[in-house]
Amino acid sequence: MKKIVHYINQFFAGIGGEDKADHEPELVEGVKGPGMALNSFLTEGKITHTIICGDNFMGSNTKDAIERIKGMLDGIEFDMLIAGPSFQAGRYGVACGNICKAIKEDRNIPVITSANIENPAVEMFKAQFPIFKGGHSAAEMRNDCKAMAEYANKILRGEKTLSANEEGYFERGIRHQTWVEGMKPAARRGVEMLIKKLNGEEFKTELVVPAKDKVDPASPIKDLKNAKIALLTTGGIVPVDNPDRIQSASATRWGRYDISGMDRLKSGEFKTIHAGFDPAAANADPNVIMPVDVMKEMLNEGLYGSLHNYFYSTVGTGTTQAEAARMGKEIVEKLKEDGVNGVIMTST
């Protein structure tokens, strides 16, 4: 029976939520949380150890966290690492990606994880190892674990695997030479596809060229001394009554708030409604997310021309690319109307 190490965050280990997101790396024997679902589907191996690390700790101390985890695993023999699943949780997904990358490089063993298509980890790591197409939330835990486990079983058996789409993970851009059933020549297959296309019939290409979003970088501000700068955030800073009813996750709304008569944002007047991090620090001092105080100081020092009278805010966690693009376009139109020359975008 092959040995597998499983990586999870503090929440799925049952340690706590955002209040425990700084939990330092820990290695425990046996199975925790999602590992029970994974083990129920694994036939060629079993989870012998579980790595636990808080999302904030991994995100803020990535290099140190990885080195500590690698040190903990010294002397432990294992054949595969599985991380997650992480669903739409961005920090968790990136943590899973980082540990998979590190262990793959260090041990040269198979690594597998799972994330939703909206998770930033997908674009960051999908070319480096299999990332299975996961659900939006933990409600899909069983299905996501089953997909990873079934693929792990094939790998551990030494069985030939199918294409990324057939197995259920994101394409990695790797092509293999294969023999087509029936030995039909490529020229004939190509002509048949062309005929189907001309007739408006459904066909499947043998060479999928992925489309990529390309955003040209803006030209640099030529005269910063006279430029109007605006502040934007995906950190969910809003007036305490959240007048625009911006959602705390998977946002579809944004807000525009007047700061013309303020030198800083005051606790009790502004807060964060973001569900993806511990709000205590931001609620105590909203300027740690929306730095009105620092921008006013730099304005007084003459570092730039003027600060826009309004800041713009929404929530990034779980927000789809389509909704983010729509909101971005709407905000840009407002900024253009107000003659804004440049934007500082803050996050968490």
Q: How far is CA 258 from each of CA 162, 232, 270, 311, 312, rounded to the nearest angstrom?
A: 55, 12, 12, 7, 9
Q: What is the pLDDT of residue 203?
A: 87
First-to-last alpha carbon distance for the chain, in angstroms, is: 43
At 344, the amino acid letter reads I
Please give the pLDDT value at position 318: 74
> Which of 122, 212, 227, 203 minimizes the C-alpha distance to 169?
122
| CA distances from residue 20 to 9, 12, 35, 60, 169 in whole angstroms, order as listed | 10, 11, 20, 14, 31
User: Can you tell me the distance from the alpha carbon of 186 to that of 283, in angstroms, rounded to the nearest whole number?
Assistant: 63
Q: What is the mean pLDDT of each run of 10 residues along the chain (348 residues)?
A: 95 91 94 94 95 92 93 94 93 93 94 93 90 92 95 93 89 74 82 93 80 81 94 96 90 94 95 90 96 96 96 88 88 95 92
Quick check: bond before 185 cis, omega within 30?
no
The residue among 137, 81, 88 whose CA lies nearest residue 112 is: 81
Angstrom distance (rounded) from CA 154 to CA 167: 10
pTM of the predicted structure, to 2 decimals: 0.67
